[in-house]
Amino acid sequence: MRRHCGTCVLEIDGLSVQFEVNQTNLTVIRELSLSIPDNTVMGLVGESGSGKSVTALSILGLLPQNGRIQSGTIAWQGTEIQAFSDAQYKKIRGCDIGLVFQNPLSSLNPVFSIQDQFVETLRLQFGHTKVQAINEAAYWLDRVGIPDANKRLRDYPHQFSLGMCQRIMIALTLAMKPKLLIADEPTASLDVTIQAQILELLQALRSELGMSVLLISHDLGVIAQQCDTVAVMYLGELVECASASALFSNPKHPYTQALLAAIPIPDPHAPKPQRLMGELPSLYNRPKGCAFHTRCPQVMPQCKAKRPVLHNSGCHGVACWLHPEEL
Ligand SMILES: Nc1ncnc2c1ncn2[C@@H]1O[C@H](COP(=O)(O)OP(=O)(O)OP(=O)(O)O)[C@@H](O)[C@H]1O
Ligand SMILES: [Mg+2]
């Protein structure tokens, strides 16, 4: 059942995404429903391969050639966009929804100076004059902590370190004042102090610009610090979604509990973090019933027979037969 939510920038309902691999259709995202409220930072976590980036790419209409949305809807401010053409998506990407991902070099153009990249983007988007665009560029470079921003505008991407390129890409994205920023491991290539600086900046701008953020990260410490709500994915499915405080103080899904138990604590006397048992199952051989049952310490017979699906990511949703009242 589709649930319209007046105060959500983005609503994903029952999204399934397939990839064609060796003439076989592989379901990578399965019946995912997720709503991102206005002015909220939502964290998206899960093991490598759980489908976080594919979810982000689906929202932006950037699935690779062999991928397609098999079913479900993605609504941007109430308008369904999952069947938009590339031209229609182009209007949304950048200005409404900004994307920052781990590899900044793939989105900065190596043959243009940083200044030219800002001028081109801001002229197209806001009709800025060259002088206005240059001023704006210097402002944003300064805000992401690039020293001597005015002087460095004429430099080319190869004249900056990887961490600086990442900050420039974040500056370029934020200069577009998106209503939703999707940040896929945005600070993974940055050292810890710069990482903290960028995350603080995102927090400040989120209120300043009234922006929502979908923050994808492996780092549960970052998620706990930065996010208002958290969604947990396992094998392409949403298994738990709650406010950050509820999720970290009272995780309900055994997978979320295992993820939290695996966080290292910087205390030599603390018990060793517990390792999640077993491997992530192959998508070619998705377990029947609950996808997590093969690794779940609390597995019950019904978990192997019937799949719990989280339809409503309301207050504290959990897709687990230990909590049938939530389904
Ligand atoms: N073009 C593709 N063709 C086939 N399978 C793909 C393709 N792109 C991604 N996948 C598969 O989709 C699944 C989800 O991948 P995704 O990149 O979303 O994971 P992730 O949660 O972002 O992982 P990580 O934390 O490592 O970034 C993986 O099993 C991956 O192998
Ligand atoms: Mg990823």
- Summarize pLDDT for 44-56 with one digit per residue, the tens: 999 999 999 999 9
Nearest one of 129, 134, 128 to 115, comparing CA atoms: 134
Tell whether the model's pLDDT for residue 2 goes beyond 70.
no
Specify the pLDDT at position 193.
80
| Ligand closest to the CA atom of residue 58 | 1
Domain-embedded: residue 288: yes
The residue whose CA has the least distance to atom 3 of ligand 1 is 19
State residue 3's pLDDT score: 46
From 53, 217, 232, 239, the mutation candidate for ligand 1 (largest count of ligand atoms within 8 A of CB) is 53
Burial code (b: 16+ CB inside 10 Å, e: under 16) for 155-173 equals bbbeebeebbbbbbbbbbb
Q: 98 burial class (0-12, 13-18, 19+ CB within 10 angstroms)? A: buried
Domain assignment of residue 22, yes or no: yes
Mean pLDDT in residue range 278-285: 89
pLDDT tens track for 130-174: 999 999 999 999 988 899 999 999 999 999 988 889 889 989 999
In angstroms, what is the span from residue 14 Cα to ligand 1's centroid? 19
Q: Which atom of ligand 1 is nearest to the CA of 233?
A: 21
pLDDT value at residue 224 = 93
Which amino acid, residue 234? Answer: Y
* Cα–ligand 1 centroid distance for 322 (angstroms): 29
What distance in angstroms lies between residue 56's CA and the mean position of ligand 1's atoms?
A: 11
Q: What is the position in ligand 1's atom list of the atom closest to the CA of 46?
A: 21
What is the Cα–Cα distance from 277 to 273, expressed in whole angstroms?
12
Residue nearest to atom 27 of ligand 1 (CA): 48
What predicted TM-score, i.e. pTM, was given to this entire model? 0.92
pLDDT at 205: 83
Ligand 1 center from residue 19 Cα (angstroms): 10
Closest C-alpha to ligand 1, atom 1: 64
**Burial (CB count <10 Å: 0-12, 13-18, 19+), residue 234:** buried
The confidence score (pLDDT) of residue 312 equals 62
Kindly report, residue by residue over 214-248, the tens digit of the pLDDT. 999 988 988 999 999 999 999 999 999 999 999 99
- The pLDDT, as a whole number, for residue 294 is 95
- Do 184 and 101 touch, CB atoms closer than 8 A? yes
Q: Domain for residue 108, yes or no?
A: no
Convert the pLDDT of each residue in 186-195 to its tens digit: 887 777 887 8
Compute, in angstroms, the gap from residue 285 CA to the centroid of ligand 1.
15
Using a 6 Å CB cutoff, which residues line ligand 1?
A: 19, 21, 28, 46, 48-54, 64, 66-67, 283
Domain that holds residue 51: 8-96+214-326
- Measure 2 CA to ligand 1 centroid, in angstroms: 27
Residue 303 in any domain: the answer is yes
Q: What are phi and psi of 310, to 5 degrees?
A: -90, 105
- Sequence-ordered list of residues with C-beta below 8 angstroms from that of 100, at least 6 positions apart, any chain: 166, 169, 170, 173, 181, 182, 183, 184, 186
- For residue 177, being part of any structural domain is answered with no
In single-letter form, the type of residue at position 32 comes to: L
Q: What is the structure's pLDDT at 4?
A: 46
Dihedrals φ, ψ of 89, to 5°? Answer: -65, -35
| Structure-derived torsion over alpha carbons of residues 129, 134, 137, 139, reported in degrees to the nearest 10 | -110
Q: Which ligand is nearest to the CA of 25?
A: 1
Q: What CATH number is attached to the domain comprising 234?
A: 3.40.50.300
Cα(314) to centroid(ligand 2), Å: 25
Residue among 18, 19, 45, 57 to mutate when testing ligand 1 (max atoms within 8 A of CB): 19
Is the residue at 151 inside a domain? no
User: Would residue 140 count as lying in a domain?
Assistant: no
What's the average model confidence in pLDDT over 316-327?
89
Number of domains in the chain: 1
Residue 67 lies in a domain: yes
Question: Which ligand 1 atom sits nearest the alpha carbon of residue 54?
Answer: 18
Assign 1 a pLDDT band (cuts: 50, 70, 90).
very low
Distance 167 CA to ligand 2 centre (A): 19
Q: What is the 3-state secondary structure (H, E, C) of 227-296?
A: CCEEEEEECCEEEEEEEHHHHHHCCCCHHHHHHHHCCCCCCCCCCCCCCCCCCCCCHHHCCCCCCCHHHC
Write the pLDDT tens digit of every residue in 7-59. 899 999 999 999 999 999 999 999 999 999 999 999 999 999 999 999 999 99
Model confidence over 103-113: pLDDT tens digits?
777 778 999 99
